[in-house]
Amino acid sequence: MTPMIGILLENIRIALIGLRTNKLRSALTMLGITIGVSAVISLVSIGQAVDSFVRDQFLGLGTNLMLVVPAQNDRGETVRITLNEARALADPRRVPDALYVMPQVNLTRPTTGNGRSTNGRIRGVGAEFPTIRSRPVQEGRFFDQTEVDGLARVAVIGLTVVDRLFPDVYPIGQSIRIGGVAFRVIGVMSRAGGAGFGGDEDDLIFIPITTAQTRLSGERVLTGERPVTNVLVQARDGSVVDLVAQQIRQTLREERRIAFRDEDTFQIFTQTDLLNSLGQITALMTIFLAVIAGISLLVGGIGIMNIMLVTVTERTREIGLRKAVGAQKRDIVLQFLTEATVLSLTGGGIGIALALGASALVSASPLGLTVSIEAANVLLATFISVAIGIFFGIYPASRAAALNPIDALRYE
């Protein structure tokens, strides 16, 4: 064992004795570091878990979905997508790499059923909706193309709607009124959660798009065509998403006679675009939470500096004696830096243990998040603990090393 390692181990032993001698003071000093480290690790890990959860939800739908939505022209007017334009996108000669093209109409109408009422979110879709969105029907069935063509007044409702309107009644075959128009419930969708384009998919009532346009809306653009809210497109597979987006863009520009130099009056979003945007949001949220939690680390570091200054004052005669028998300035600095670092590392270790417990609690909760503490986060917390001990221990250690041995021996 080298002399330097021996000195370091001796300083650690002295630091541990000091911690045991002043248990309450040491515990209160470490509290800030403990809270800060546990908060930083927990919040960063939870942020990573949220990001993974969101990505898994979107990837469960596949990476080959695209959404075409209206945009503004150079005059600031929103140019709606029409049903005829959606039919042009469904033409295999113009968009050959699209597997399905389905226009959608989103409406909000008062809805009543079983003596209860709600502000229903209505979505008019085609018969291919369950296939495109990989969402099976849990009870009953989905409407078919014949019912879409025949403007049938049938509805398939989400589980949230079931809880609101039919909490104690079997919903299949029941009648509901949407905007004063009677519909028959023929199916209940399986649970989807909040993933995908457009918020909570369980709080929706699905009806044929033709019925939505004629019986609930009747809206038309200036040309007399019926507008749609957006168009959902499924590419053959994830490798041709960009190619399909180019085909959609070319088709709509031709349909709208947009000049070569003019901007598009529509936007095309892919699942990848949304994932990237959500990834940026969750990353910023995680950083923000970590910074907020890091404030307690700063407070804890200040606490360590304060206690070390008190310790220097209390041990002035000890410092004088050590200098009188030959201790160098570097020995005194190393001693007090070691004590500050041990104090910080001990608090950080307790904080890591608390973070592990918190992650286990969140994982066991019904939130659906799987929180795991990564080794990189633990190493980062350990490094931060050491850095805080050294940074906030330098000034007290330097002050102790600068004491005059004669004055120190006279100190009472």
Do residues 208 and 143 touch, judged by C-beta distance below 8 A? yes
pLDDT at 267 over 50: yes
Burial degree of 149 (CB within 10 A; 0-12, 13-18, 19+): exposed
Task: Render pLDDT for 330-357 as a digit per residue (tens, 0 to 9).
Answer: 767 777 777 778 878 888 888 888 888 8
Full DSSP string of 319-357: HHHHHHTT--HHHHHHHHHHHHHHHHHHHHHHHHHHHHH
Distant-in-sequence, close-in-space partners of 183: CB < 8 Å, separation ≥ 6: 153, 154, 155, 175, 176, 177, 207
Spacing of C-alpha 330 from chain mean position = 48
Burial degree of 101 (CB within 10 A; 0-12, 13-18, 19+): buried
- HSE-up (13 A, CA, CB side) for residue 24: 0
Span of 37-41, 54-58, 179-183, 395-399 with lowest mean pLDDT:
54-58
For residue 195, what pLDDT band results from cuts at 50, 70 and 90? very low
pLDDT at 53 over 50: yes
pLDDT for 169: 92
Three-state secondary structure readout of 19-76 = HHHCHHHHHHHHHHHHHHHHHHHHHHHHHHHHHHHHHHHHHCCCCCEEEEEEEECCCC
Cα(85)–Cα(101) distance, integer angstroms: 11
Cα(22)–Cα(230) distance, integer angstroms: 68
Average pLDDT over residues 186-208: 79
Do residues 227 and 219 touch, judged by C-beta distance below 8 A? yes
Do residues 378 and 352 touch, judged by C-beta distance below 8 A? yes
CB count within 10 Å of CB 293 equals 19
Count of all residues that appear for the chain in the document = 412
Burial degree of 340 (CB within 10 A; 0-12, 13-18, 19+): buried
Cα(347)–Cα(342) distance, integer angstroms: 9
More confident residue, 165 or 276: 165
pLDDT for 219: 84
By C-alpha distance, which of 209, 139, 125 is closest to 170? Answer: 139
Return the DSSP state at 213: I
Return the DSSP state at 368: -
Alpha-carbon Rg for the chain in angstroms: 33
The β-bridge partners of 157 are 188, 205
Token digits of residue 353: 């243990």
By C-alpha distance, which of 232, 9, 199 is closest to 104? Answer: 232
pLDDT at 198 over 60: no
By C-alpha distance, which of 391, 272, 361, 354 is closest to 34? Answer: 354
Do residues 55 and 279 touch, judged by C-beta distance below 8 A? yes
pLDDT at 184 over 60: yes
The β-bridge partners of 137 are 189
Spacing of C-alpha 46 from chain mean position = 9
Task: Render pLDDT for 2-23 as a digit per residue (tens, 0 to 9).
Answer: 666 766 676 677 666 766 677 7
Token digits of residue 315: 């041990």
- HSE-up (13 A, CA, CB side) for residue 365: 10
pLDDT for 107: 93
The residue type at 132: I
Percentage of residues of the chain with pLDDT beyond 70: 83
Full DSSP string of 110-132: EEEETTEEEEEEEEEE-TTHHHH
The residue type at 170: Y
Do residues 228 and 105 touch, judged by C-beta distance below 8 A? yes
Task: Render pLDDT for 124-152 as a digit per residue (tens, 0 to 9).
Answer: 999 999 988 888 999 999 999 999 999 99
More confident residue, 47 or 253: 253
For residue 199, what pLDDT band results from cuts at 50, 70 and 90? low
By C-alpha distance, which of 300, 278, 314, 292 is closest to 399? Answer: 314
